[in-house]
Amino acid sequence: MYAYDEIDRTLVNERVSEFRDQVKRRLSGELTEDEFKILRLQNGVYLQLHAYMFRVAIPYGTLATNQLRALAHVARKYDRGYGHFTTRQNIQFNWIKLAELPDALADLAEVGIHAMQTSGNNMRNVTSDQWAGVAPGEIEDPRIWSELIRQHTTLHPEFSFLPRKFKIAITASDHDRAAIKIHDIGLRLIKNEKGETGFEVLVGGGLGRTPFIAKTIKHFVHGRDILSYIEAILRVYNQYGRRDNIYKARIKILVHELGIEKFSREVEDEWQHIRNSSLQIDDEVIEDIRSRFTYPAYEKLPHMPDELRQAAADPEFEAWRKNSVAPHKVPGYSIVTISLKPTGGPPGDATAEQMDALADLADKYSFGEIRVGHEQNLALPHVAKRDLPALWKALDKLGLATPNVNLITDIIACPGLDYCSLANARSIPIAQELTRRFANHELANLIGRLHINISGCINACGHHHVGHIGILGVEKNGEEVYQITIGGRADENAALGTLIGPGVKFDEVADVVEDIVEAYLALRERPEELFMDTVKRLGVEPFKERVYATR
């Protein structure tokens, strides 16, 4: 956990007072809606279909229990009793009143939570691996660097009015859980031959209407230079990024139009001017940030405790354990993923009661820490294996033990037309229907790892391009039509999916997905061949044939 000091607290409080003043000036008419819009966006406030939506940052996906309780409190006091975890380690509340927002922010500020730059054309919440600091084989905890970059990008005087939004993600594991290749800047933490920490820097990834997988701009940037290198990228982007067309304003378009070689030369030139400046980070500064991350005092515990051995007799427990429990870097401990994808539920939603109860469980079983992942699930990062059976029982009672992590019902979906003013089509009801179709755990398990991502419009908040099966809702002649892609992925081998054919109607989507899955089950060479691998081996044709043969 990162503990805010007086300096961080002061800044967050100053931000709350500033926003209180801005809301007051808006309500009195002193600020026009046009002027206020940008200010509220920079504080995470959108105007949606039915009400204001409030997006709160959970930097690098790490939450303390008092923070999760504060989110529950906001859900209960200012909203309708629930919140929605997003694909970028944020939580959204959908029914906030403008006049109450400053109070909600003040309540969150008390526990070191804010909503700064969760929207707007500035640097967004810095995201990372939800297993940071606990994943076996990780090079080092990427959150130290995430926090350094979070601070540097917060209220940056030069880059708060960029051509478009700007997202940074960091991973320090071989397996990329942070989806860095679909970010404006992706950082892969590595060591050089001298054993020094640095980053492979990727740039220009992003989804939306023109999706791109990020390209490597520099193979190694030393840790001490990372802020100046990021600043150089941003300065080039701020000056040359397009501002004439909102759909061409992301850095991915600039990188594409200039070409990665020319773009990287521009960045290199700029970087040479600023790398030996006060942006250079000395070890002491890194150590200071590192010292404010606290780690649990792990006990020496057995790998296979009696409690676990006994519980293995219960098939339901075993189904959950095999699905949702992952190895921890410390023997005797596990990482537990908590699925927010119950059958028939909107993906990523949690009620205030669930959040409070989960905070209690995290205090009891996970050293007071909770994580949020981009797949819209939560995790308890430090659970002693002996506690797994008790934890499972408690989670099950809360409806938080659906054993579907990474399976076909672990769906990423945007809020879609049920909430969002940009949407053309519904997303949540499609996800709900699919979770019902594949509710049988045996079947889902037989299918194996398969990610379905759903977006209700071309802006791609549901990451449909990188879903193993991607579903994009569009509007055609006043009707919702869904385009289906297959073969996308968001991990270290990130790829964009391929369209399988003409769009289908709302009530056909689940049938089409069933057809695709049946085709896969018939086509796979062996049960271990994952959906992704079958698509890679055979291409989209056989799936296309299957889906459209009868339509």
Residue 474, number of CB atoms within 10 A of its CB: 16
| Residues forming a β-bridge with 495 | 489
Closer CB to other proteins, 22 or 534, in the complex: 22
For 296, residues 6+ apart whose C-beta sits below 8 A from its C-beta are 367, 369, 382
Helix axes 388-397, 315-324, angle to 10 degrees: 100
Told to check if 158 binds other proteins by CB under 8 A, we report yes
Told to check if 90 binds other proteins by CB under 8 A, we report no
Q: Is-contact 38 22, C-beta < 8 A? A: no
Told to check if 5 binds other proteins by CB under 8 A, we report yes
CA distance 165 to 458: 16
Smallest gap from Cβ 266 to other proteins, in A, equals: 12
CA distance 79 to 183: 30
Closer CB to other proteins, 174 or 283, in the complex: 283
Told to check if 11 binds other proteins by CB under 8 A, we report yes
From residue 303 to residue 342, what is the string marking binding to other proteins with x (rule CB under 8 A)? ----------------------------------------
Q: Is-contact 512 452, C-beta < 8 A? A: no
Smallest gap from Cβ 194 to other proteins, in A, equals: 25
CA end-to-end distance (rounded Å), the chain: 53
Told to check if 513 binds other proteins by CB under 8 A, we report no
**Looking at 148-156, 318-326, 366-374, 477-485, which segment touches other proteins (CB under 8 A)?**
148-156
CA distance 180 to 201: 10
**Looking at 274-282, 306-314, 470-478, 493-501, which segment touches other proteins (CB under 8 A)?**
274-282
Residue choice 161, 209, 446, 502 for contact with other proteins (CB under 8 A): 161
Closer CB to other proteins, 33 or 288, in the complex: 288
Closer CB to other proteins, 157 or 478, in the complex: 157
Told to check if 406 binds other proteins by CB under 8 A, we report no
- The closest of 177, 175, 172 to 200, measured between CA atoms, is 172
CA distance 71 to 111: 10
Residue choice 277, 294, 310, 440 for contact with other proteins (CB under 8 A): 277
The 3-class secondary structure across 312-352, one letter per residue, is: CCCHHHHHHHHHHEEECCCCCEEEEEECCCCCCCCCCEEEH
Closer CB to other proteins, 14 or 360, in the complex: 14
Residue choice 106, 139, 155, 258 for contact with other proteins (CB under 8 A): 155
Residue choice 121, 323, 334, 409 for contact with other proteins (CB under 8 A): 121
Told to check if 273 binds other proteins by CB under 8 A, we report yes
- The closest of 12, 28, 17, 29 to 103, measured between CA atoms, is 17
Closer CB to other proteins, 160 or 343, in the complex: 160
H helix runs in 366-508, sequence order: 388-397, 428-437, 441-447
Smallest gap from Cβ 284 to other proteins, in A, equals: 6
The tokens describing 262, both together, are 């020319």
| Residues forming the site for other proteins (CB under 8 A) | 5, 7-8, 10-11, 14, 17-18, 22, 30, 35, 38-39, 121, 151-152, 154-162, 235, 238-239, 243, 273, 277-279, 281, 284-285, 288
